[in-house]
Amino acid sequence: MAITGVPGRFSASRRILTYENSGRQPEYSDELTVSSSDSVFGFLEGSVESTGSRDGIIDDDMFGMEEENCESTFEENKTFWENQHDQLKATLCRTTSIETGIRNVTREAVQELKAQGNYCKCNKTTSEKGCRNCLMREVSCRLNNAGYNAAICRSKWKSSPDIPSGEHTFLDVIDNSNPAKGEIRVVIELNFRAEFEMARASEEYNQLINRLPEIFVAKIERLKVLIKILCKAAKKCMEGKKMHIGPWRKQKYMQAKWLNSNYERIITQVNLQLNYANFEQISKPKKASMLTIALLDTPRKAVAAA
């Protein structure tokens, strides 16, 4: 029994009275009835909810939040790159006497070889400047002639879930002059800046890389710090560009190049020949004494008198 005065709720399927055009005979059909007023208000309510504003009015605070987020991101990026520049500068400024001596000999050798022109002796390249292997061999010879225990190092590493396999060649010097400090290994990279350059790098990253020296000479401990700074900057650069960083740019891959325990030190035959020639030149007296000349002249005078 329906209660009068209370509006009833219609079911989803409702019988609608219709008339045919001919004869005006009533017919009933079961159809889903939708009120036009209900659909309009429902659309408006949905629109208001989707915009997330109050009473259908756009809130100006939404734009203010976006501006604050942009300013915050800008300040964070600025602070990050300033810190990277400061850390890089502080690390490069530190040096020791042995590093300074090796660096001076290496720079002089590279300048002389480049001024000389074609120093390549392997006949495997058509470049007028020569190949990298010959340049390292010549620089290694100069360092050995200067009294340093220098060699060409070749490191190899196998692939892992983090990085692919690879190999790298560079120079190093082993110093055992101070027994209290133990063995000191100094790494020499003749083209250090190019090892960290990227084709699609940001302006902030390029400015950081441009501060690197082309000829790098440093101990293992300082090289570790530099690799960490530069790889962190490379990751930040790629994140800013919404790009995936390559595995050969990761810190583990860069460490494998110079800090890998599995490496081979190569002292070429040219080094041994040059050292032996220098030893003969140093051991030979430049001037003979007067006594030696007198002894040599005595048999000659005796022969002449006879």
> Which is higher by pLDDT, 225 or 3?
225
Rounded CA gap, 103 and 36, in Å?
86
CB 140 within 8 A of CB 157: no
**How do residues 2-39 score in pLDDT, each as one tens digit?**
445 545 544 444 444 444 444 555 554 444 444 444 54
Amino acid at 158: K
Picking from 145, 161, 163, the residue whose alpha carbon sits closest to that of residue 106 is 145
Tally of domains in the chain? 1
Q: What is the dihedral of CA 119, 124, 126, 132, to 10 degrees?
A: -50
CA angle 97, 100, 103 (to 5 degrees): 150
pLDDT at 174: 95
- Sign of the Cα torsion 94, 98, 101, 105 reads negative
- Percent of all residues in the chain with a pLDDT value above 70, rounded to a whole number: 61
Q: Identify the helix (H) or strand (E) that includes residue 42.
A: helix 36-51
pLDDT at residue 109, as a whole number: 94
Domain that residue 250 falls in: 72-271
Q: How far is CA 177 from CA 95, 148, 149, 186, 216, in A?
A: 17, 10, 11, 13, 22
Give the pTM: 0.65
pLDDT of residue 124: 65
Mean pLDDT, rounded, for 203-231: 96
Percent of the chain having pLDDT more than 90?
46
d(CA 33, CA 11): 9
Which pair of tokens denotes residue 217?
A: 């000479």
Asked if 254 contacts 227 with a C-beta cutoff of 8 angstroms, the reply is yes
Is residue 73 within a helix (H) or strand (E), and if so which, with residue range? helix 61-93
Within a domain: residue 128?
yes
| 267 within a domain of the structure (yes/no) | yes
- DSSP element (H, E) containing 107: helix 97-116
- pLDDT tier at 54, thresholds 50, 70, 90: very low
Q: Is residue 208 part of a domain?
A: yes
Higher pLDDT, 126 or 149: 149
User: What distance in Å separates the CA atoms of residue 69 and residue 56, rounded to the nearest whole number?
Assistant: 25
Dihedral, 122, 123, 128, 132 alpha carbons, nearest 10: -30
Residue 261 within a domain = yes
Residue 101 in any domain: the answer is yes
Q: N- to C-terminal Cα distance for the chain?
A: 166
CA distance 196 to 214: 11
In contact, 265 and 172? CB cutoff 8 Å: yes
Q: What is the DSSP letter of 266?
A: E
Residue 36 lies in a domain: no
Q: Is residue 57 part of a domain?
A: no
Exposure class string for 112-138: b at 16+ Cβ within 10 A, else e: ebeeeeebbeeeeeeeeebbebbbbbb
Which range has the worst mean pLDDT, 18-27, 184-193, 213-222, 295-304? 295-304
The verdict on residue 184 lying in a domain is yes
For the stretch 175-210, pLDDT in tens is: 998 888 889 999 999 999 999 999 889 999 999 999
